[in-house]
Amino acid sequence: MLILALVFGATFALAQDHDHGSHDGHDHDTHETHQPHNDDHAHADDHGHGGSCGDHHEDSGYDPVSTVMNHIADANEFHVWKGVHIPLPLFLYAPDHGWTTGLSSMFHHGHQAVDRYVINHGRVNRVADDSFPMGEVHIDGILHKVEEVNGKNKDVYYVCAKGELFKLDPPSTVDGGFLGGGITSFYDFSITKNVFTLFLAAILLIFVWNAVARGYKKNEGKAPSGIQSFFEVFFVFIRDEVTKPMIGEKHYERFQPFIMTLFFFIMFINLLGLVPFFPGSANVTGNLAVTLVLAVFTFLVTNLNGKKDYWEHIFWMPGIPGWVKIILTPVEILSLFIKPFSLMIRLFANISAGHIIILSLIGLTFLFGDNGQNVGGAAGGALIGGLFTAFMNLIELLVALLQAFIFAILSASYIGAAVEEHHHDEAHAH
């Protein structure tokens, strides 16, 4: 049973992962409110020989909000430092053109358009204009403007090529425009930073848990050894502190793999997100699409396993007067959806907030340094920001584990409520 649980735990992660892969294509990046920072400026200056492109200079300096939002968003490449990127594969689909595949390095850091696609702040965008030529085209830069759309100020980007401006379409998101996205002219199924990290976490989970499962086969009846002894602590903890008390002695074994998968999957991607360089650095659980999929899994597992008593308590609560039932039933039905929704928002907001705080503290260096004008200020900012960042990283380490635990324990308590069987002779005190 133990080995079965462990192996299931690992394979479950992969199954979930495929799901993310296909979802992430269009609904990530809810923070499309970037403004240009200095990189763009440099582009416009260096390549501003294209007539009308030179006229649209903005004086933005260091913009802390847009820089932070840009860093917590998903990207089609890994940014190492200025000018150095690790490219990621692209799978782009436009209904009017078909598939475009390649590596994100084919955009030459925003100096080349391929099949109307360009890279803008690490994300692939598409030129919405039909007159823009297909194939590889040199572009002079990307301009940012703030335009009023339906009474709201929105960031609009223009590609500058051959002395003309072409409007850019943002990537598609499934929120229907609520968070600034919407369905645009193309679909992005690429292996982005987030998808890459999801795959990495899944591979790590399979690798680690296969090693642990092998350990249980080898050391049957003996003391655990190696990596097995490290993970047995977690396994026993989840079993004794989460699933057994929350789901109950009778049913907990059935849900142990699911709860374990949730816990370790969230823990691994949270911890990978805390690594500030290449294999990590993606804000995966700080992405609504990912937490949505995780919450939908909990929702499905909870409700597909709901017993008769569970549904009776939702639709027609026994033991209370009729008129209260009329009020209570809509509230109970609503709470059915609020539970996974709060799971989704809690994980997303906690992890995003942690990333935003760390990035803001590091941003103090640039803010105090006055964009390279004030070296003393930059050093002071680096000192203060660095100390606080070290402190925040320790808190984030705790939060990474705590949020995985909270997601697991709340999922277990929802499942526990669904599979619980009431004895109808006992008083209904709830």
Partner 1 sequence: MGAIGAGIAALGAGIGIGLIGSRAMEAIARQPEAVGDIRNNMILTAALVEGAALFAIVVGLLANG
Residues in touch with partner 1 (CB under 8 A): 33, 179-180, 241, 245, 342, 345-346, 349-350, 402, 405-406, 409-410, 413
| Pick 19 or 241: Cβ nearer partner 1 | 241
Tell me whether residue 211 or residue 353 sits nearer to partner 1 (CB atom). Answer: 353
Give the per-residue SS3 of 155-196: EEEEEEECCEEEEEECCCCCCCCCCCCCCCCCEECCCCHHHH
Measured from the CB atom, is 66 or 228 closer to partner 1? 66
DSSP label at residue 83: T
Task: Tell me which DSSP letter residue 142 carries.
Answer: E
Supply the minimum distance, in Å, between the C-beta of residue 225 and partner 1. Answer: 27
Kindly tell me which of 31 and 37 has the beta carbon lying closer to partner 1.
31
Q: How far is the CB of 25 from partner 1 (least distance, A)?
A: 24
331 contacts: CB under 8 Å, gap ≥ 6: none
Of the pair 86, 406, the CB lying nearest partner 1 is at 406
The nearest distance, CB 144 to partner 1, in angstroms, is 16
Least Å from the CB of residue 412 to partner 1: 10
Q: What radius of gyration do the chain's Cα atoms show? A: 25
Q: Least distance from C-beta 344 to partner 1, angstroms?
A: 10
Nearer to partner 1, 129 or 155 (CB): 155
Rounded-to-10 torsion of CA 412, 414, 418, 420: 60
Structure tokens at 129: 């204009």
Least distance between partner 1 and beta carbon 405 (Å): 7
Compute the CA torsion angle 61, 66, 68, 72 (nearest 10 deg).
-140
CB 83 within 8 A of CB 77: no
Give me the least distance between CB of 163 and partner 1, in Å please: 34
Which residue lies nearer to partner 1 by CB, 6 or 356? 356
The continuous run of DSSP H or E covering 152 comes out as: strand 152-161
Three-class DSSP category at 50: coil
In this structure, the chain runs to a length of 430
In angstroms, the CA 354 to CA 343 distance is 17
* Closest approach of partner 1 to the CB of residue 258, in Å: 18
Kindly give, in sequence order, each residue whose CB lies less than 8 Å from that of residue 202, ignoring residues fewer than 6 positions away: 13, 14, 16, 17, 265
237/315 with CB nearer partner 1: 237
- Measured CA angle at 147 (ends 145, 153), to 5 deg: 115
H-state helical runs in 248-321: 252-274, 288-304, 308-315
Least distance to partner 1, CB of residue 406, Å: 4
Closer by beta carbon to partner 1, 240 or else 421: 240
Residue pair 137/103 in contact by the 8 Å Cβ criterion: no
